[in-house]
Structure 1
Amino acid sequence: MAADPTVVLTNDDGIDAPGIAALHDALRDVADVTVVAPVENQSGVGRRATREFQVHEHDRGHAVTGTPADCVAYGLHLVDDPDFVVAGCNDGPNVGADNVGRSGTVGAAAEAAFLGHAAVAVSAYDPVEGALVDPDRSAFDEARTVTRRLVDALDPSTLTESDAYLSVNAPTRTTSSTRLRLTEPVHDYSLRVDEGDDGYAVTSAFYDPLRPDRDEAVTDPVGTDRRALADADVSVAPLSVTTNTVDHAPFRSLEDAY
């Protein structure tokens, strides 16, 4: 019988968050899990790393005073060549190219993948409200199921040989028609800057499919992560690890002019 896969489990909401507790409960049934997570909430830090941190023992595992990327570094120091690095479960969706790029949950998976390890970022969303309000472990039931199945069934080399990692968004409430969709992040994103009495405020301008007052005539294309959320499906977006360059030809004049 093959040995259980080894998993480094981290998050960006902090080691005491209910989302990481839910995934720990789910994964320890099918894997050898080592928890390395931030002491405090580190939402929105992306792949930022401090590279200097302290580690404290915690009932759940190892609590790190740094960022999710720091947690990944320490987790890879503790566990020699884990089969998976799993980040989450985030208590709200991570969809759209802008949000994925800023997320600490997705950032942890991206850091692990960049270092050559199979990685999965997991987020949960409410099909009506989007973000989760005062979530408990039961809110992550579908995320638990999806994550356990992925770690149990997926060959890590499928990710590493594809230079990819997964960004998963699972609903808190499912229906008889809920299914898993392979998706890509939506790219329609812009910013508005407003001046107020105390300075400036930046507002993200994009269509939110989960708004209770949304315009039903506006929909995202099938195949996008936000469309999957609007349909209360599980979104799994395989994202690229590498920072690829574009065609050099249009920029050759820069070499000549320098």
Structure 2
Amino acid sequence: MAAAKKTKLPTILITNDDGITSPGIRNLVEAVKGLGKIVVVAPDKPQSGMGHAITIGQPLRMSKSDLFEGVEAWHTSGTPVDCVKLAVDKILHGKPDLCLSGINHGANHSINVIYSGTMSAAMEACIESIPSIGFSLMSYNYEADFAPARHYVRQIVESLLKKKMDKHLLLNVNIPDIPMELIKGVKVCRQAYAKYEEDFKQRKDPHGKNYYWLTGAFVNFDKGKDTDVWALENNYISVVPVIFDLTNYPLKAQLEKTWKIK
């Protein structure tokens, strides 16, 4: 009788922008344990708001970490995008089957996706033809309850691993900070047009010199009921499929017809 064929476990790369010691990445690792071979490569310090920044002109350093029992982990001096690049080139020596970024402390819905280190790490993986997901919990509280997030992260990842994924799959998943019993489910959404109306507060340092502190209020200009902001305000988990092609195709077609520049 022929021996049963062993199924190769998928390799899952995990990173974030809050740093390797954050509760969010620890909860992400716990959420997907057993679903594949997990490798963590994350910044050695918080890198929120770094967007798609990469390190140029200075050395990157990388060291092994023992923060996650039974899981290979590394921390780097670089940005979230650097972490993905280093993981592929120097640690895995190839591409993982899936990249997960997060779980971020705070929202990455609407325009936040542009600034987010969490989503930029996932996007870098997507650019490298690695299916990827960014996860965020709508709480900045260090003691936030990640139990509902862990539950839904595992469900989403299990569902995706059951079938062949598009190599450019990129999902932005935001989870409301409410008890499990109040979450109504998961909604696939579009990105809302919402942003921060910003203000720089001018202050004086101890030497009498001016410095500026960025503040602002979040404003939703989009009243659609199919957006990530609406879903989260109504106790749903929002899932927005994202692409890195920023071409405005309707405008491209219009300009091709109307521009007469020679």
TM-score by length of 1: 0.82
Letter in structure 2 aligned against 1:233? Y
2:105 is aligned to 91
Give the CA deviation at 1:253: 3.4
| Aligned partner of residue 56 in structure 1, secondary structure | strand
- Report how many aligned residue pairs link the two structures: 236
Counterpart mapping for 1:142-221 below 5 A: 142-155=148-161, 157-160=164-167, 163-172=168-177, 173-176=179-182, 178-189=184-195, 191-193=197-199, 196-197=202-203, 198=210, 203-207=215-219, 220-221=223-224
Q: Contact 1:164/1:241 (CA < 8 Å) preserved in 2?
A: no
2:55 is aligned to 50
Q: Contact 1:84/1:151 (CA < 8 Å) preserved in 2?
A: no
Q: 1:132 to 1:187 in 2, by over 3 A?
A: same
Give the whole-Å Cα distance in 1 for the aligned partners of 2:247 and 2:222. Answer: 30
Q: 1:200 to 1:48 in 2, by over 3 A?
A: same
2:3 is aligned to none
Q: 1:192 to 1:81 in 2, by over 3 A?
A: closer
Q: Contact 2:192/2:222 (CA < 8 Å) preserved in 1?
A: no
Q: Does 1:224 align with 2:237?
A: no
User: 5+ residue gaps in structure 1?
Assistant: 126-130, 209-217
Counterpart mapping for 1:102-113 below 5 A: 102-113=115-126
Give the whole-Å Cα distance in 2 for the aligned partners of 1:252 and 1:200. Answer: 43
Q: 1:176 to 1:17 in 2, by over 3 A?
A: closer
Q: 1:39 to 1:187 in 2, by over 3 A?
A: same
Counterpart mapping for 1:27-106 below 5 A: 27-51=32-56, 52-59=59-66, 60=68, 61-77=73-89, 78-79=91-92, 80-96=94-110, 98-106=111-119
Give the whole-Å Cα distance in 1 for the aligned partners of 2:31 and 2:49. Answer: 25
| Aligned partner of residue 165 in structure 2, secondary structure | helix
Q: Contact 2:11/2:98 (CA < 8 Å) preserved in 1?
A: yes
Give the whole-Å Cα distance in 1 for the aligned partners of 2:201 and 2:16. Answer: 34
Superposed CA RMSD in Å reads 2.4
Letter in structure 2 aligned against 1:62? W
Q: Contact 1:13/1:38 (CA < 8 Å) preserved in 2?
A: yes
Deviates more, 1:61-70 or 1:143-152: 143-152
Q: Contact 1:12/1:38 (CA < 8 Å) preserved in 2?
A: yes
Q: 1:33 to 1:65 in 2, by over 3 A?
A: same
| Aligned partner of residue 241 in structure 2, secondary structure | strand
Give the CA deviation at 1:11: 0.3
Give the CA deviation at 1:192: 4.6
- Specify which of 121, 130, 138 is matched with residue 117 of structure 1: 130
1:214 is aligned to none
| Aligned partner of residue 84 in structure 2, secondary structure | helix
Q: Contact 2:197/2:219 (CA < 8 Å) preserved in 1?
A: no
Structure with higher Rg: it is 2
Letter in structure 2 aligned against 1:93? A
Counterpart mapping for 1:134-145 below 5 A: 134-135=142-143, 139-145=145-151
Give the whole-Å Cα distance in 1 for the aligned partners of 2:243 and 2:149. Answer: 22
Give the whole-Å Cα distance in 1 for the aligned partners of 2:196 and 2:64. Answer: 42
Give the whole-Å Cα distance in 2 for the aligned partners of 1:36 and 1:102. Answer: 20
Give me the identity figure in percent. 28
Following superposition, which runs of at least 4 residues in structure 1 exceed 4 angstroms of deviation?
Answer: 192-195, 199-205
Q: Contact 1:26/1:145 (CA < 8 Å) preserved in 2?
A: yes
Give the CA deviation at 1:176: 4.9
Letter in structure 1 aligned against 2:82? D
